[in-house]
C-alpha cells in the first residue's frame, strides 16, 4: 500500500489492549490537526501470504473502522516483516511520518521489559517518538514539561522543543535540577533560567521555569514527580542523534523516564537543516551553561 505524506502519524500496534492507547492518542492528535494515521503491525518470517496475515489484516481493518467512527480521518494500515527495532524506523522514513506514537506496557512483571524495548525504538527513529501507557486524559497537549540543560550543544535542541510545543499550542514548563545546595550556584542557575524565560518570551512562547534543588534525589524521579504535580499532558525530551543515541542527560535516565513515567513522553531529535535555519536565535542562547550538572561535556 503506497502511503506518503508529511502529515502521517505512524502507530505501531501489536493488537494488544495497551496498543489501543497509542491509537487513542493518535486519533486525538489527527482529529485536532487533520493528520492521517498509518497503523503498522510488524510480523516475523513466514507470516506474509498466510491465513495468519489475513487474520491480522482483519483486526487492523476493525481498528480503522473504529477510528473513523470516532472522527472523519484518513486511516490506513501496513503489515511489514522484520524486527520492531528497525522496521518501525524504516517505515517511518519511507512514509515520511511526522512522528511515531508507541504504546507500551506497565511496570510489573515481564511487562517491565517493554520500557527498554521502547527506548530501543526511540533510539532507532529519525522522527519524534511519543511513548504512552494510558488513554489521553486531556484534549490536546497544553501543559508540556521540558527538562533541559544549557550546554552549547543543546541550544538548538531547545529551540526544536519550542517548535514542537507551538505545534500543540502548549505552555512549556521548563524543569531544572541541581544536586547541590550551594547558594552561589543556585543563584547563578536561577538567573540563567530567568534569561531562558525572557528569551522564549521574545519568541512569543508561553514558558515557566522551575528549579528543583535536592542533593539526595535522582533527577529523573524529581522530573516525574514535577510532571505529576502539574498534571502535565506530556514530558518532552530533546535527544541528540549519535552512534549510541546519547541525549542531553544520561541514556539510562531517559530509559528510566520512558519506562516509569505515567505521563506520555515525547522524544525529539533535531535535524541539521532545522538547526541551520535558527542560527541567530541560537547565538542568543549560547551564554547558558548546564544548570543540572548531569553531563560531563565541556560547558560554555
- Per-residue pLDDT tens digits for 242-256: 434 334 445 467 778
Tell me, yes or no, whether 96 and 168 share the same domain.
no
Give the end of a domain, one of 132, 165, 181: 132
SS3 224: helix
Q: Of 132, 159, 192, which residue is a domain's last? A: 132
Question: What b/e sequence results for 221-246 when a residue is b if at least 16 CB atoms lie within 10 Å of its CB, and e otherwise?
Answer: ebbbebbeebebbbbbbbbeeeeebb
The total domain count for the chain is 2
Is the domain of 183 the same as that of 211? Answer: yes
Residue showing cell 515481564: 110
Q: Where are the beta strands (DSSP E) in 72-158?
A: 75-81, 97-103, 129-132, 143-147
Are 27 and 157 found together in one domain?
A: no
Residue 289 has pLDDT above 70, yes or no: no
Beta bridge partners of 9: 37, 99
Is 294 inside a domain boundary? no
Query: Is residue 296 a part of any domain in this protein?
Result: no
Q: Which of 83, 110, 132 is where one domain is finished?
A: 132
User: How far is it, in rounded angstroms, from Cα 175 to Cα 226?
Assistant: 8
pTM over 0.75: yes
Assess contact for 132 and 141: CB atoms under 8 A.
no
pLDDT tens figures, 162-210? 776 777 788 889 888 888 888 988 888 888 888 878 877 777 778 899 9
Contact 258, 220 (CB under 8 A): no
Range of the domain at 246: 143-285
Mean pLDDT of 80-108: 86
CA angle, 169 as apex, 35 and 141 as ends, to 5°?
75
Let me know whether 220 and 262 are in one domain.
yes
Say what percent of the chain tops pLDDT 90: 27
Instruction: Give the burial string for 1-25 (b: 16+ CB within 10 Å, else e).
Output: eebeeeebbbbbbeeeebbbbbbbb
Residue 32 confidence (pLDDT): 82
Amino acid at each position: 500500500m503506497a502511503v506518503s505524506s508529511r502529515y502521517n502519524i505512524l502507530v505501531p500496534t501489536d493488537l494488544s489492549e495497551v496498543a489501543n492507547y497509542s491509537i487513542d492518542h493518535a486519533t486525538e492528535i489527527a482529529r485536532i490537526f487533520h493528520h492521517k494515521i498509518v497503523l503498522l503491525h510488524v510480523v516475523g518470517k513466514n507470516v506474509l501470504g498466510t491465513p495468519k496475515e489475513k487474520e491480522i489484516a482483519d483486526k487492523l481493518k476493525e481498528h480503522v473502522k473504529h477510528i473513523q467512527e470516532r472522527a472523519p480521518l484518513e486511516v490506513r494500515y501496513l503489515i511489514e516483516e522484520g524486527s520492531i527495532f528497525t522496521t518501525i524506523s524504516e517505515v517511518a522514513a519511507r512514509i515520511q511520518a511526522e512522528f511515531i506514537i508507541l504504546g507500551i506496557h506497565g511496570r510489573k512483571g515481564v511487562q517491565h521489559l517493554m520500557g527498554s524495548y521502547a527506548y530501543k525504538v526511540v533510539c532507532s527513529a529519525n522522527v519524534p517518538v511519543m511513548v504512552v501507557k494510558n488513554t489521553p486524559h486531556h484534549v490536546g497537549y497544553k501543559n508540556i514539561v521540558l527538562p533541559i540543560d544549557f550546554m552549547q550543544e543543546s541550544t538548538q535542541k531547545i529551540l526544536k522543543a519550542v517548535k514542537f510545543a507551538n505545534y500543540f499550542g502548549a505552555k512549556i514548563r521548563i524543569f531544572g535540577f541541581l544536586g547541590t545546595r550551594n547558594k552561589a550556584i543556585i543563584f547563578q542557575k536561577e538567573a540563567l533560567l530567568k534569561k531562558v524565560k525572557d528569551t522564549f518570551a521574545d519568541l512569543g512562547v508561553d514558558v515557566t521555569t522551575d528549579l528543583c534543588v535536592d542533593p539526595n534525589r535522582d533527577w529523573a524521579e524529581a522530573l516525574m514527580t514535577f510532571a505529576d504535580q502539574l498534571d502535565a499532558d506530556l514530558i518532552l525530551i530533546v535527544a541528540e542523534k549519535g552512534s549510541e543515541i546519547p541525549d542531553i542527560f544520561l541514556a539510562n535516565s531517559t530509559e528510566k523516564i520512558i519506562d516509569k513515567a505515567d505521563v506520555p513522553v515525547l522524544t525529539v531529535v533535531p535535524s541539521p537543516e532545522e538547526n541551520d535555519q535558527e542560527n541567530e536565535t541560537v547565538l542568543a542562547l549560547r551564554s547558558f551553561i548546564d544548570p543540572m550538572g548531569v553531563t560531563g561535556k565541556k560547558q560554555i
